[in-house]
Chain A
Amino acid sequence: MQMSGAQMVCEAIIAEGVKTVFGYPGGAIMHVYDEIYKQNGFEHILNRHEQASVHAADGYARATGEVGVAMVTSGPGFTNAVTGLATAYMDSIPMVVISGQVPLSLIGTDGFQEIDAVGISRPCTKHNFLVRTLEELPRILKEAFYIARSGRPGPVLVDVPKDITVEIGEFSYPDSVNIPSYKPTYKGNNRQIEKAVEAIKSAKKPLLYIGGGVVLSNASDLVRELAEKTQIPAVETLMARGVMGSKNPLLLGMLGMHGNYASNMAMSETDLVISFGARFDDRVTGKLSEFAKYADIIHVDIDAANIGKLVDVDYPIVGDVTKVIEKMLPLLDDVNPDRYNAWREILKRYDDLHPQSYVDSDEVIKPQWAIERIGELVGEDAIITSDVGQHQMWAAQHYPFDRPRQWINSGGLGTMGFGFPAALGAKRAHPEKTVINITGDGSILMNMQELVTAAEYKIPVINLILNNHFLGMVRQWQTFFYEKRYSETDLSFQPNFKALAEACGGIGYDVSTKEEFDAAVKDAIEQDKVCFMNVQTNRFEDVLPMVPAGGALFNMMLPQKTESKKENS
């Protein structure tokens, strides 16, 4: 069929089953937008900033497991998208970003709105393409979606020069791809899997270390089955919250810098780490030489480069977590779950000794209380996104996540401003679910223009702003490590959040008591409008436990015991 390059882009998006595209038009991508106007195979959401478009596509991808699609123009349109690409790259999120480029004849001439998009995005995409002829466009689009979702997923950029979008040629969308140099490994090596299973059977203190790869691989049910069958306790990384389910007695909690006591002690004392889809990030391991010091390590990862990158691994298994656990389960039929009773007892005592806790207050809303309360009010049904900072850690610690893809946050790159646009994407993917962005008074301002997008398209997401008038996480570090010199972290000067939301067509709530909080949440859920819920919290609350950067996991700064009713601010 004869059609223009712009039409080919649209046809490929439709053929890939994408229902929503997020983007922002501009000169170099105008022909594609002209075709978007004419088609009705997918909807387009006009964000008010390209960074938000990419985060929204990212949120869509995280909520569904499908490839998210964003579209931007050349030059500044593309550079605005870079933070979004990097965010998705660090968390291995399948995404295709299509960017306009100046015409081929102008490339390299410093043309208006020209920038070397493939050059800039090379280190923050899984792969990228600059389309050089119309003939290769259908193949490139097909490969882009394939590369984005296969193997270890990631964002792919397709940079399309303007003249190629105008040119007319034959279009037939390929059914399959053939990239001889790209063959991801899905099946784990049988011999290695058998050896790993033997190690599990002979271990005394094994520990499941569950990472975001389990979510990406949709392997949560299998991980739960494996844990259930063997009765091996589990810790989750930030990216894996929801995999085990908050009510699962085998789940110790989140580990790492702000992990709970039992989780970090378990990792410090285990004799066998069973890692599924985790990458031993520095925020998880703390001081490497002290990390899981007494343990052998089984590392299952689809990305061979993750294995042995930071810690020496005894049982490396390159493969898809799903495929590997499917093979492990029958081999574990004869495992005796009582074998680990003593170990679970020890961990139980650790948890009783220092449970995840905070000191509540009657005078002021504590951020942890707000998160727990949201959990009680909307619980399992909601999708929770977050920005980056204290509120993110409190959400990860205190929200009762019960299923994968319920928790959407920027873990690897730590991008402030991620939560609101990601919530838009998640809500568009799951309109029936309550979507709440747990955010702070710092982060929310980094993409607050999305109020307009949300209002225009009637995407009713709730922004729960835990307002401590501080850039809280940096303030916490200043308190601990910089002798309370609060350099540029005091956010006492603030917009009127309620009025700001209203000015953009949303709803605002000012909340400073628990009663107001409940009332506002109930009202916000019933409304079909986006809202800012400005919750005044105490200013000097710290995220605890905390392992100082570079410290050993077992050296935690712990919260006050809950029995003593004193404020810890």
Chain B
Amino acid sequence: MKTYDAIVVGAGHNGLTTAAFLARAGLDVVCVEKNDYIGGAAVSRQLYKDWWYSNCSYVCSLLRPEIYRALELHRHGLQVTPYGGSLTFMQNGDYFGSYHDHEVAYREMARFSRRDADAYKTYSADTMRQCRFIRDFLLRTAPDPASFKPKDLRGLMDIGRRFLEMGEDRMYETIRFWTMSVAEYLDEYFETDVIKAAMSGSGIIGTALGIHSPGTAYVLLHHKMGDVDGNVGTWGFARGGMGAVSKSIAGAFQAAGGELRTEAGCDKIIVKNGKVTGVGLENGEEIRARVVVSAMDVKRTFLNCMDRSDLPEKFYRRVENFKIRGSSGKLNIALDGLPTFPAIPKGSTLLHSDMHFIDSMERMERAYDDWKAGTWSKDPYVDMLIPTLNDPTMAPPGKHFMSCFVQYCPHKLEGRDWTEEDKQAFANTVIDQIANYSPDFKDLILHMEVRTPADIEAEIGITEGNIFHGELTMDQLLFNRPVPGYAQYRSPVAGLYLCGSSTHPGGGVMAAPGANAAREILLDLKRPNTVPDNFGDD
């Protein structure tokens, strides 16, 4: 029986990234995927006629340009188009839009508060400073503060040096930034409720925290640190939907000689004498390899696919305590035409932007209270987009695809499983919220896919369907992600690695965990590094 150099479990964007970099180093790599399609949560799926749904992730900003370039993803069909702006519908019939043009954006903000409009530049600069601080660490392995290895000490010194370079005052501001809530952070700059509400969404997307929870200012950063073509904070559409990202990485992987197997779900990671030897598939087949890399989340990897006895007990318990919480759901909708939004100016670019329906901080936070009580938000935070306005490939001409990211939505309802009725009621909550601002919306719905965290878990395999493979709280970031002492992509089992979003620097279609894991694996195998360095911000 053939022994591969490496098996990568899970053909999501991170798994494929690791696989591609390993294959480029000349390794014999197979990537196994349980579904009959690849992409994990970065997929475009044809679930209704000629409509293609980005049915999990739906926009792209975090994808590291270094990886894009190194893997020559443009050759494999990837094209990312920036889009701008966001819009918040207000209950009084007004709206707050954020425009691409600086001056128009200024005027719009000044319509609510001139002070806020003026404060925005300072807010931007302060946030950008934090972005620059963190961006440098994305394509690096987090140093272990408990280690005395020269590499870790160097890494720590490097963080220290960059911190010191900020100067005394900005060091304090950085400490505060990392520990405060997004609501408090925004309060320091803005006075207008709707402006704060519009900006606070980025502080909670994907997390089981509310805008008032300390630590959410960092989550805001997690959504701002990406870039499209060097424009930090900009988001873009992948032409053809998010599946284009995974497809192009898969293309790079296959071009480097890698083997891709779908409908090959991993049942078990096989360990012999403390060393990994391969993977047992759900169909009973066994594949051997010297290295196994799991792109699955940390809980699924260690709790579902391994024997407890193969792992140190303390490690096992820490994995159990790792927090992956289902907090968001999705509605993917095929539309017969473009819905009208009477509040939006005709022909406005705002129609192309992210649309939101919560106009106050209180409503944002109350949405979270519902989740804490074990139910979906009755007045949810919805991040709604119509990608077909920018991308003609996702629906027939004149027809549209609408993506609604919905928060909060729990993995279980007050401890019990979701029923079909629950799902329908959840969907209705969202549809009603949108229909409040678009009278013809309901009539245009041709097909709809409702995805609760439980559905995402069942289909993609992510524990609780959490988009980040684990909460982005301080106790689960950097050297703590996923587990202190094992934050460098290695596991307690020799030859077994992690490369998914449960590892540093976390979730989002970033591919950085996959690339970082590949670097560490190649280092252990004493193979030349194929993973690019940070471009670096100057």
Are the chains A and B members of one assembly?
Answer: no
Contact surface of A with B, Cβ cutoff 8 Å = none
B interface residues, Cβ below 8 angstroms from A? none
